[in-house]
Chain A
Amino acid sequence: MSQLTRARRLLAGALVAGALAIPIASAPAPACAAALEHAALVVDTGSAVTTYCVALPDGSVSGIGLIRLAADQYGLEYRLGYGGAAVCQLAGVGPADGDCFGGFPDYWGYWRGDGKGGWTWSNVGAADTTVGAGDVDGWAWGSGDDGGTHPRPPRTSFGDVCADSSPSPSAVPTSSGSGGTGGGPPLGGAAAPVSDSRSPRGEPSSKGSGKGSGAGAPTGSTAGVVLRTEGGGTAAPSTVLAAARGTTSGPPLGALWSLAAVGLLLGAAGVQRHRRRGDPP
C-alpha cells in the first residue's frame, strides 16, 4: 500500500468518524438528561394531539409556566387571559382576544397525569399548580363542567413523551389508542441523527420546520415532539405558522398607516389652530 493510499484511507476514516461523531456529540449525553429535568405536556385540540417533552430549567414550574416553556422550546402557539392566569388558546385553537370563554361551551380543560398514564381533573387553576420533573400535564379542548363530562387527552405517561432512559433514539410505537386513521408514521429510523432534540431551541420536530404536513415528518427523535394526528392534516396550518414565526417580528405594516394618519391629523389640527388664533380664548 502506497503512502498516498494509506493517507487517503486515514483521511476517509477520519472523515467518517467525524461525521458520526457530530450527531453523537450534539446529542445530549445521559448525564445531561439527568441534569436537566423534564416534564411532559399533552395538548389535545380534539382533532390533533401533540405532546411536548419540556425541559425545566428551574426544576419546577406552574402549569402556565410549562406552556410558556413549551412555546419557547417548541413554538407552541398560545394565548392567555385574565392577567395571564387562564389559558384561552393552545396550538391555535380557542379565542385569541383574552376572553377565555369566548368559545363557550368549549374551553380548555386542565388535567394532571396520575403517574400511570391516566388523568385527574385539576381543581386548581394552572397558575397555581406545580409541575416538577416527571410530571405530565394535559389540556383538552371541549365542553363539560368537570372531570366527569369534559373530554380528556388520550392516555399518556411520562415515558411515552420523554424517553430518557436511553440516549439513542428508538422507534416509538404510534399509539392507535386514539383510533385515528391518519396515525402518524412511525418515528423511527434509529439511524437518523438525533440532532439535539431535547435542548431548547432544538429542531422542533413536529413543527416540521417547513415540512408542515399533517402527518408530520419528524426527524427520528423520540425525546422530542411526538405528533399523532387523527383524521390528519388539521395540524398543518399551525405547524406552518409556527415554522414561519421563527424570530420575533417587528411592528406590522399597518402601524405605518397609523403613524402617517396621526401625523396628517395633527398637522391639520395645527393649521386650524393657526387659522383661529385671532379668536377670543
Chain B
Amino acid sequence: MHPVAWIVWSAAAGIVAMTTSNPFYLVVLIAAAAVVHSSHRRPGPSSRSFRIFLLGGLGAIVLRTALVVFGTVDAENAAAAALEGSRLAALLVVFGTFNSVADPFGVLRLAPRRLHEPALAAALALSIAPRTIAAVARVRQAQELRGIRIGRLRSLTALAVPVLETGMEEAMTLAESMDSRGHGRGRRSRYRPERWEVASGATAIVSGVCTVAFAAALLAGRGGLAPSTFPLRWPDVSPLLVVAAAGFALPGFLPAGRAA
C-alpha cells in the first residue's frame, strides 16, 4: 500500500473524528481502525502502537471524565466530559493505526528534499515509543535470565540505564544503515519507487468520500454529530453516517500488495 494512501486514510479518519463526538459513530471508526491494523500491521515493534494508543485512548476517556469532580458533578457534565474524551480516543487510535501500518521510511521518502532532516527526525521519533517498550521487555528478560531480581519500585532505575543505552545503540545503528542505503543528506535513492496500486487508490478515494459525508452532515447541521448533553438526550444516529464511518475499514479487506 502506497504510503500516501495511508496518510490520506489517517488524515481523513482524523478529520471525521474531529467533526463529531457522537459515540455511535466514533466507536465504528475505532472498530474500522482495528480491522485495518489487524490486516496491515507491519511486523516489528511498530505494530504495538495500536495497542498503546488504544490504551491511551481509554485512559484519556477515564481521565477526562474524572476531571468533572473539580466542578459540579452531575450526569450531564460527566456525559459531556466522556464524549470529549472519546473524541480524543478516536484520534489516538487512528494515529496508532497509522503508526502500525505505515512504513515510516516510506513516508520519509516522500518528503521534499528541504524537509528531509526534520522528516527523518520525525520518522525516528514515531518509532521510538514502541522500540523503547520492546527494549524494556528485552532488558527485563535478560536480567531475569541472569538471576537479577529487582523489586517493582526499584526496577525503574535498574532498567533506565540499560534501556537508554539500548536506545542509543539502536538509533546509531539505524542511522548508519539508513545512511548506507541512501537516506543521508542529499543522497536520496530512487531505486525502489512506490507504485500506486488499485488497493491504494481505492483506500484514498473511499476515505475521501466518507469524509465528505461527514463534512456535509456537519454543514447541514444534521446527523446528530453533536449530541446534546445539556439537557442529556439520546443523539440522532444516521445509518448513512454509520456506513460512512465503517467505510474506513475498507483497506482491511484489500490485499496488502507488495510489502513496502
B228 touches A254 (CB 8 A): no
Q: Which residues does chain B contribute within 8 Å of A269, judged by CB atoms?
A: 31, 34-35, 37-39, 252
Whether the pair B242, A258 counts as a contact (CB closer than 8 A) is yes
Indicate if A253 sits at the interface (CB-CB under 8 A).
yes
A83 touches B35 (CB 8 A): no
Answer yes or no: A246 CB below 8 A from chain B CBs: no
Kindly identify, within residues 255 to 270 of chain A, every residue whose CB is under 8 Å from any CB belonging to chain B: 255, 257-258, 261-262, 264-266, 268-270
**Do residues A276 and B38 form an inter-chain contact, with CB atoms below 8 A?**
yes
Return chain A residues, CB-CB under 8 Å to B236. 252, 254
Inter-subunit contact B35/A258 (CB<8 Å): no
A250, A253, A272, most chain B CB atoms within 10 A: A272
Query: Could you mark each residue 83-111 of chain A with 1 if its beta carbon is under 8 Å from any beta carbon of chain B, else 0?
Result: 11000000000001110000000000000
A255 near B237 with CB under 8 A, answer: yes
Interface bits B67-111 vs A (CB < 8 Å: 1, else 0): 000011000110010000000000000000000000000000000
Q: How far is the CB of B76 from chain A (nearest CB, A)?
A: 6
Contact A78:B43 (CB < 8 A) given known A252-B236, A269-B38, A273-B38: no
Measured in the bound complex, the distance between the Cα atoms of B41 and A276 in whole Å is: 10
Q: Which of B39, B71, B77 has the most CB of A within 10 A?
A: B39
Scan residues 142-197 of chain B and give those whose CB is less than 8 A from a CB of chain A: none
Q: How far is A81 from B226 in the complex, measured between Cα atoms in Å?
A: 11
Chain A residues near B224 (CB, 8 Å)?
252, 254
Known contacts A266-B34, A268-B35, A255 near B24 by CB under 8 Å: yes
Taking a contact as CB atoms under 8 Å apart, the answer to whether A265 and B32 are in contact is yes
Q: How far is the CA of A268 from the CA of B37 in the complex (A)?
A: 11
- B80 and A83: CB pair below 8 A? yes
With a CB–CB cut-off of 8 A, which chain B residues contact A272? 35, 38-39, 252
Provide the residues of chain A in CB contact with B208, threshold 8 Å.
none
Chain A residue contacts of B31, Cβ below 8 A: 261-262, 265-266, 269
CA distance A58 to B42 in the complex (A): 62
Q: Is B112 an interface residue (CB 8 A)?
A: no
| CB–CB A261/B246 < 8 A | yes
From 234 to 254 in chain B, residues with beta carbon under 8 angstroms from any chain A beta carbon are 234-239, 242-243, 245-246, 249, 252-253
A279 to B245, CA, bound (A): 29
Are B43 and A261 neighbours in the complex by a CB distance under 8 Å?
A: no
Contact status A281-B237, CB under 8 Å: no
Known contacts A265-B34, A265-B249: A84-B43 contact under CB 8 Å: no
**A254 and B242 in contact, given A262-B27, A266-B31 (Cβ under 8 angstroms):** yes
Which of A79, A251, A254, A255 is the most central at the interface, judged by chain B CB atoms within 10 Å of its CB? A254
Smallest Cβ-Cβ distance to A68: which chain B residue: B231
The answer to whether A96 and B43 touch across the interface, beta carbons within 8 angstroms, is: no
Whether a CB of chain A sits under 8 angstroms from the CB of B225 is yes
Q: Which of B32, B72, B237 contacts A254 (CB 8 A)?
A: B237
| Interfacial chain A residues near B35, Cβ < 8 Å | 265-266, 268-269, 272
Cβ-defined contact, A249 with B234, below 8 A = yes
| Inter-chain contact A257/B242, CB cutoff 8 Å | yes
Query: Which residue of A81, A261, A262 contacts B230 across the interface (Cβ within 8 Å)?
Result: A81
Contact A97 B252 (CB under 8 A): no
From A81, A257, A281, B239 is in contact (CB under 8 Å) with A257
Known A266-B34, A269-B34: A252·B39 in contact at CB below 8 Å: no
Complex-state Cα separation, A204 to B213, whole angstroms? 40
Whether A84 pairs with B76 at a CB distance below 8 angstroms is yes
A280: Cβ under 8 A from any B Cβ: yes
* Residue among B28, B230, B238 making CB contact with A80, cutoff 8 Å: B230
Enumerate 17 A-B pairs (CB-CB under 8 Å) in ascending A order: A83-B230, A97-B226, A252-B235, A253-B237, A254-B238, A258-B28, A258-B237, A261-B243, A261-B245, A262-B27, A262-B28, A264-B246, A265-B249, A268-B252, A268-B253, A269-B31, A281-B47
Give me 16 other A-B pairs in contact (C-beta within 8 A), A254-B239, A258-B27, A261-B242 excluded: A68-B231, A79-B228, A96-B221, A98-B230, A249-B234, A252-B236, A254-B24, A254-B238, A254-B242, A255-B237, A257-B242, A258-B237, A266-B31, A269-B38, A272-B38, A280-B43
Which residues of B are at the interface with A, using a C-beta cutoff of 8 A? Answer: 24-25, 27-28, 31-32, 34-35, 37-39, 43, 47, 71-72, 76-77, 80, 221, 224-226, 228-231, 234-239, 242-243, 245-246, 249, 252-253
Query: Which A residues contact B (CB, under 8 angstroms)?
Result: 68, 71, 78-81, 83-84, 96-98, 249-255, 257-258, 261-262, 264-266, 268-270, 272-273, 276, 279-281
